[in-house]
Chain A
Amino acid sequence: MSNSSVRQGLSKKSASPLLGSFLKTLSHLSVWIYAAALALPIYYVVISSMKTNQEIFLSPASLPKNWSLANYSLAWEAASLGDGLINSSIVVLFSLAINLALAIPAAFAIARSENRLSRALSGLFAAGFLIPPFAALVATVLLSIWLELFHTKLFLILYYPAMTMPLAVLLLTQYMRSIPKELAESAKIDGASQLQILVHIYIPLSRPAIVSVVVVNFINLWNEYLFALILAGPKVSNQTVQVALPTLTGVYTSDYGLLAAGTVISLVPVYLVYAILQRRLEGALAAGAVKG
């Protein structure tokens, strides 16, 4: 340790040790300034959610004098956040199930064959990964009207699996390619069908990748806003929690405490998942955000 730092010091003849330690302090400092910049708004929203508006206005940074949960029950009522959470859960749960039901067999098929067609298919999903779905929002609305599913949860449930398909297929294919082919070959000799090989060998062995897909897609879908806003529409019975939350600004423009409480409520489910699955989530995102 000391040896290498001596060498390091020697190599930078021009830099004085004083400057070196100054730079070191500066870089530590800038990291923690950024960390504070991340923490402060979150601190602000949490404490504001428990204050009266007058308190938020007069002493924005200090802890609430009387910790009050009144804003929470008000926000819960005003934005129908309960319905929002239920709608979000329904939409996300079914979407994830359909996504897996489609992506797992597809990845299995693509991973197991090495011809031009399978390469073309993985190319299709790789390209799909780079298409921001937003561009086609209007056309997607037309599709939902044509299917007579405009302003329904059902359309979101059908649409979201397609939106998350590229990531799911790419991650799963990548993982399934690493499963030794001999396993399937010997099962085949024993008379197993493709479907049996998928169900009894590939799915159990791909569990880590499946969990990754579920977690990443959960976060993306739970947080999706624009499509939920336009496709499911403004009715309380269809609104996801992300669509419900901003309705608070319309009714209570200047009531930040209420807004803050609603924001905290909307964040809880995702942060819970994160708390449980922190390491896995980071790894999954790192693998999935950018393929390869």
Chain B
Amino acid sequence: MHRKPIRLQTRESLSLALSAPAVIWFTGFMILPLISMFYLSFTDWGSLVSKQNFVGLAQYQKVLSDPIFWAAFQNTAFQVAVAVPVMTFAGLMLAYYLNLRPRGVNLLRVLFFTPALMSISAKSMLFLGVFSTDGLLNFGLRSFNLESWTTTWLANEGTALNSIIAIDIWSGIGFTAVLLAVRLSGIPQDIFEAAEIDGAGHWRKIWNISYPVMKDYFGGLFMLQFLWTASNSAALVLLLTSGGPGTSTYTLSYLAFSKAFLQQSVGYSQVAAVSLFLFGVIGMLVIRRIFRSVV
């Protein structure tokens, strides 16, 4: 009788040992690099092959007084503030629409999902064509007699960042909609019928039923889209605008990338990476707060 609990315990820790390889692997390849990022941000490291010196907060001082950093910060804040709410809330309405099983629902599902299957490089190549001088967008505008609206979308300081945000929204709405629709079809449909009997229209069924029922899930998705949008912009910017024209499409993640791999200042890059990381953490806390407090 005395032995049994002891044996059970050893068994339990024995079986937990099965998770050790995964934990070690994950720690080695993900957590350790993350920790060294903080260390590197306190160095004056230039190119990857040069020597590094620990300079403490001096690197931060240097970066925080650089206008490009603040331009990148502003662009990132603007990008997520526009793209994430638009894609998630439009996605929610579309998910509701899909859940009504309207005509063509299968076609819509497939279409909505297609951007989720595209890599960033494929998306970039696609939109190089769409946004180019003689591309699809300008052609469309011309055929509606809107010649004056045409521009070189990715090379114009006023439109470049917005074009990149448009790509985020373009692909984000459909993906969010499909995920939320799967979730929505899993909740008992009779609450919608009950609401209908009480006279609720579609608008109220979206905001007073679908939304509160899925609020936690929706909030989680909102957070992930926030993280993805902020961190994925490096690749999109690299392939489409390289930060230009001027600094108009520099984002924090692109800044971290370009300083390390194109401009030989690893220390600077890591300050940008830490900033992005903190921006992500603070952003998530804020988002969580908002979703918890707003009913």
B interface size (C-beta, 8 A): 103
Partner of B136, one of A61, A117, A242: A61
B111 touches A108 (CB 8 A): no
B216 touches A44 (CB 8 A): no
B125 touches A134 (CB 8 A): no
Which of B21-29, B73-81, B152-160 is the contact stretch?
A: B21-29
B:205-244 near A, CB below 8 Å = 216-217, 220-221, 223-224, 227-228, 230-232, 234-235, 238-239
A219 touches B117 (CB 8 A): yes
* Minimum CB–CB distance for B207 against chain A, Å: 14
Asked if A27 meets B125 with Cβ closer than 8 Å, knowing A57-B134, A290-B217, the reply is: no
A12 touches B117 (CB 8 A): no
**Chain A residues whose C-beta falls within 8 Å of the C-beta of B277 in the assembled complex:** 131-132, 135
* Minimum CB–CB distance for A8 against chain B, Å: 6
A:133-189 near B, CB below 8 Å = 133-143, 145, 158-159, 161-163, 165-166, 169
**Chain A residues whose C-beta falls within 8 Å of the C-beta of B232 in the assembled complex:** 134
A285 touches B227 (CB 8 A): no
B interface, over-half SS = helix
Which of A64-72, A204-212, A258-266 is the contact stretch?
A: A258-266
B112 touches A35 (CB 8 A): yes
B114 touches A140 (CB 8 A): no
Partner of A194, one of B18, B31, B129, B136: B18
Q: Is the CB of A243 closer than 8 A to any CB of chain B?
A: yes
A256 touches B15 (CB 8 A): no
Task: Given contacts A41-B127, A44-B129, list 18 more A-B pairs with CB under 8 A.
Answer: A38-B114, A41-B129, A42-B126, A60-B139, A102-B22, A102-B25, A113-B15, A121-B19, A130-B223, A132-B277, A135-B34, A135-B273, A135-B274, A136-B33, A137-B273, A249-B125, A278-B113, A289-B224
> Residues of A with Cβ closer than 8 Å to B?
4, 7-8, 10-12, 27-28, 31, 34-35, 37-42, 44-45, 48, 56-57, 60-61, 102-103, 105-110, 112-113, 115, 117-118, 121, 124-125, 128, 130-143, 145, 158-159, 161-163, 165-166, 169, 194, 198, 219, 222-226, 230, 242-243, 245-246, 248-249, 256, 259-260, 262-263, 266-267, 270-271, 274, 278, 282-283, 285-286, 289-292
